[in-house]
Structure 1
Amino acid sequence: MMDLQQALDRLKAKGFKYTGKREKMVEIFSEQDRYLSAKEVLAEMKGEYPSLSVDTLYRNLSLFEELEIVEGTEWEGERRYRLHCGGKNHHHHLICRECGKTRPLHQCPMNELLNETEDFRITGHKFEIYGFCGRCESKGEIKA
């Protein structure tokens, strides 16, 4: 998994400044180690940056996703982000719908489909499994 310093180094290597706000955003993802909505990130930052706009936050999240500092996913009608796993090993995730924690899934369902793709060149795909981790399931407070 990418860490705070690797993320800041990537920003700098790609020609972007790393400001206190950007550093704080990466720090939040690093500490939380789960998928977070923009609202959750904004709430975490408001204490230190009370005038932070939603537009600035989304611009930075978009930049971070483009630079592969964070990974994004759509879930329950909302875009959510987590620190990028890093590395080049192809994998997918099991995602807890309650706490947002993830676990890598090293099997790929595309392997079964690859032989059935006549006249089509696959350039990418995304596969995620949603459910509840054992910790959340045992708490008995699951909303879904």
Structure 2
Amino acid sequence: MDVKDALHILKENGYKYTGKREDMIGYFAGEDRYRSAKDLLSFMEPTYKGISYDTIYRNLHLFSELGILEATELNGEKQFRIKCDTHHHHHFICKDCGFTKEVHTCPMDDIRSELDSFVVEDHKFEIYGLCPACQ
């Protein structure tokens, strides 16, 4: 997803386009990793003096709810990244720097037969470890 697509989703759902929201989305679009609210606040503060955690968290929650951002918990803290392409895949996530790598093998292919009488509505598979740079 790019910034233009994300802003379109906001508009389609009745939310205002603002420069602040564009900059927030742009931050995640430029990162190939999960980032925290604190990381976003540090990025935004030089341009938006006095921006609060409330503003950051409110927008992160909105972006996640609208499918603009994906969320996970990493090292006890909620982290976010821009929503990936629409093709089905999973992630390896570096526990140190948050770098993500797409994993195209899906464990559901092997598990589905064990759940034949259940309706699976969604699933998420994440692998945690250290990327080559953090090892």
Q: Residue 118 of structure 1: CA displacement? A: 4.8
What is the rounded CA distance, in whole Å, between the counterparts of 2:124 and 2:37 in structure 1? Answer: 21
Equivalent position of 1:102 in the other structure:
100
Equivalent position of 1:72 in the other structure:
71
Equivalent position of 1:135 in the other structure:
133
Aligned residues: 135
- Segments of structure 1 that go 5 or more residues without pairing to the other structure are 138-144
What is the rounded CA distance, in whole Å, between the counterparts of 1:102 and 1:118 in structure 2? Answer: 31
User: Secondary structure of 1:81's match?
Assistant: strand
What is the rounded CA distance, in whole Å, between the counterparts of 2:50 and 2:32 in structure 1? Answer: 25
Equivalent position of 2:54 in the other structure:
55
Equivalent position of 1:116 in the other structure:
114
Q: Which runs of 4+ in 1 moved over 3 A?
A: none
Equivalent position of 2:84 in the other structure:
85
Equivalent position of 2:13 in the other structure:
14
- Segments of structure 2 that go 5 or more residues without pairing to the other structure are none
Equivalent position of 2:124 in the other structure:
126
User: Secondary structure of 2:133's match?
Assistant: helix
What is the rounded CA distance, in whole Å, between the counterparts of 2:116 and 2:91 in structure 1? Answer: 28
What is the rounded CA distance, in whole Å, between the counterparts of 2:81 and 2:52 in structure 1? Answer: 20
**Deviation per CA, 1:119-143, whole angstroms, max 9, x where unpaired?**
4211111110011111222xxxxxx
Judge conservation of contact 2:72–2:80 (CA < 8 Å) in 1. yes
TM-score by length of 2: 0.92
What is the rounded CA distance, in whole Å, between the counterparts of 1:31 and 1:129 in structure 2? Answer: 22
- State percent identity of aligned pairs: 50
What is the rounded CA distance, in whole Å, between the counterparts of 1:41 and 1:11 in structure 2? Answer: 19
